[in-house]
Structure 1
Amino acid sequence: MTTVLDFLIKGGPVMVPILGCSVLTMATALERSLFWTRLLQREGRIVNEVLDVARRDLHEAAAIAAQAQDLPIGRFLLAPLRLQRPSPETFRLAMETAGDREFVTMRKGDKLLETIVAVAPLLGLLGTVTGLIATFGNLNIGGGGTGEQASRAAAGIGEALITTAAGMVVAILALLIFRVLVSLQAQQMDYFSEAGNELELIYRQYWYEPAQLPPSSERGLPAGIGPERYSG
């Protein structure tokens, strides 16, 4: 603990905002780790259950999706299934709207990390410049003891460079976390698109335009699906 405090003191006042950036980076990483771990552990099972049941009964599929509303994928699948007799276009629009809304929650923390990546190195450079200014200001150029002054100057420059190193470390860490989150978000967009397309295809198999609606005995609707649910 003493070593850390000594390190911060040597870096000067600029180390305080750099330390704040590091705390925010780690807090964001922890929160996003919990979010993605919980999502990735359950979403595959939820999607499989909803799609399998939807082939027999969309009402039951909606009930399964409703039980998973604490996850983005559950809210995404439930959005079109909770509508009353939607057309395929409305069905798809509901999914797209829900998907856009969920992708916003998945991008939580991105702007903060981008800001830290940009600001942390600049804070480090600022600390180095102010440290060098203070070091050269304390030198007595015209006095004696040149060797001792050179040693003090070297030590001061070394301490001034601490902020640059700290700022770069924080920026690199934030950038790595940000890139991992972006990769996960891209994978989720593809997964949501695949699951949504399959659900829409299932729905289109049981939806008829009013003018083309065949007799009930010829529709071949599976058990539990009433014609009033799928008529236009």
Structure 2
Amino acid sequence: MDILDLFYKGGPAMWPLLVLSILSLSVIFERLWFWLRILTQEKEIVTRVLDAARDNWEVAAEMAKRATDQPIGRFLYAPLSLRNIDSETFRLALESTAEDELAGMRRGEKLLEAVIALAPLLGLLGTVLGLIHSLRSIRIGDLGTESTAGVTTGIGESLISTATGLIVAIVSLAFYRLFQGFLVNQVKVFRKAGNEMELLYRQSPPNFSNSTSVIAEETSRNSFNPPRKRGKSTFPEPPAPPNTPDSLES
């Protein structure tokens, strides 16, 4: 009841502040769940994919494909999903995917920035409106009497909106900075994993067509019947020309 009482005493500015606080909390909880899943799984994904890439690129591609529900998995799978690429294309695939994934990690950032900027201003607006309402009822003849006690009470209540706006902005700013720190750390993780992946590629480029060529070779070998060895012909040889006098003379 005390919270509801303070809410109503805060004035009309408390309603937009309530909306901003709900939006801010929804973004904060969604981002916390998002970062919790990433930070607990990405290290294992990077280690497994890079270890597999040192021995077999096809196994590494399969592991990265299974982890495409994570940003780091999609980042590592992007170049491995291509076939017969050179080192420049390999690097471009890593860079473009990293930009997309990092942009997705900034989701909700603009909303938190808007809450941080608007909440104190709305709180201050509520305080100004409360002061206007309180000071309007003051009369010069009532100064110094007990009738001005209600005015001071109204001024104190009008400051509730300012305090609420500051609280909403401070909480939003704290989590905003936390998420920014996570994002900076992700840039380092992507850069390190991408450099190691590119280094492994330059040392031993993947050849995903090996298994396909082997299968095709086996198929063609089974379906192709080599010609028989050349032996004695089964057809009769043409008869020799008769010994005519003309041929004998020549």
| TM-score of Structure 1 vs Structure 2, range by shorter chain | 0.7 to 0.9
| 1:153 paired residue number | 151
How do 1:34-183 and structure 2 match up within 5 A? 34-142=33-141, 144=142, 146-183=144-181
Q: What is the CA-CA distance between 1:36 and the residue it aligns to?
A: 0.5
Q: What is the CA-CA distance between 1:95 and the residue it aligns to?
A: 0.5
Q: Distance in 2 between matches of 1:136 and 1:205?
A: 78
Q: What is the CA-CA distance between 1:226 and the residue it aligns to?
A: 3.3
| 2:6 paired residue number | 7
8 Å contact 1:21–1:116 — kept in the other structure?
Answer: yes
Q: Which amino acid aligns with 1:75?
A: R
8 Å contact 1:58–1:225 — kept in the other structure?
Answer: no
SS in 2 for 1:158: helix
Q: Which amino acid aligns with 2:171?
A: L
Q: What is the CA-CA distance between 1:140 and the residue it aligns to?
A: 2.9
SS in 1 for 2:40: helix
SS in 2 for 1:139: coil
Q: Distance in 2 between matches of 1:167 and 1:23?
A: 13
Match of 1:195 among 185, 188, 193: 193
Q: Distance in 2 between matches of 1:32 and 1:164?
A: 27
Question: Stretches of 4+ moved more than 6 A in 1?
Answer: none
Aligned CA RMSD, in angstroms, stands at 2.0
| 1:226 paired residue number | 210
| Deviations 1:167-202, CA, capped at 9 Å, x for gaps | 111111110000000000000000110001000100
SS in 1 for 2:140: coil
Q: Distance in 2 between matches of 1:60 and 1:46?
A: 13
Question: Larger C-alpha radius of gyration, 1 or 2?
Answer: 2
| 1:184 paired residue number | 182
Q: Which amino acid aligns with 2:150?
A: R
SS in 2 for 1:102: helix
Contiguous gaps of at least 5 residues in structure 1? 209-220
| 2:245 paired residue number | none
8 Å contact 1:11–1:162 — kept in the other structure?
Answer: yes
Aligned residues between the structures: 213
Q: What is the CA-CA distance between 1:51 and the residue it aligns to?
A: 0.2
Q: What is the CA-CA distance between 1:207 and the residue it aligns to?
A: 3.3
Q: Which amino acid aligns with 2:146?
A: E
Give the percent of matched residue pairs that are identical in Structure 1 and Structure 2. 46
* TM-score when normalising by structure 1: 0.87
* TM-score when normalising by structure 2: 0.81
Q: What is the CA-CA distance between 1:228 and the residue it aligns to?
A: 9.0
Q: Which amino acid aligns with 2:194?
A: G
Q: What is the CA-CA distance between 1:227 and the residue it aligns to?
A: 9.8
| Deviations 1:17-41, CA, capped at 9 Å, x for gaps | 1111111111111101100111111
8 Å contact 1:57–1:225 — kept in the other structure?
Answer: no
| Deviations 1:104-150, CA, capped at 9 Å, x for gaps | 111111111111111100001100000000001122333x5852232
Q: Distance in 1 between matches of 2:132 and 2:148?
A: 15
- Assess, with a 3 A threshold, how the Cα gap between structure 1 residues 43 and 74 changes in structure 2: closer, same or farther: same
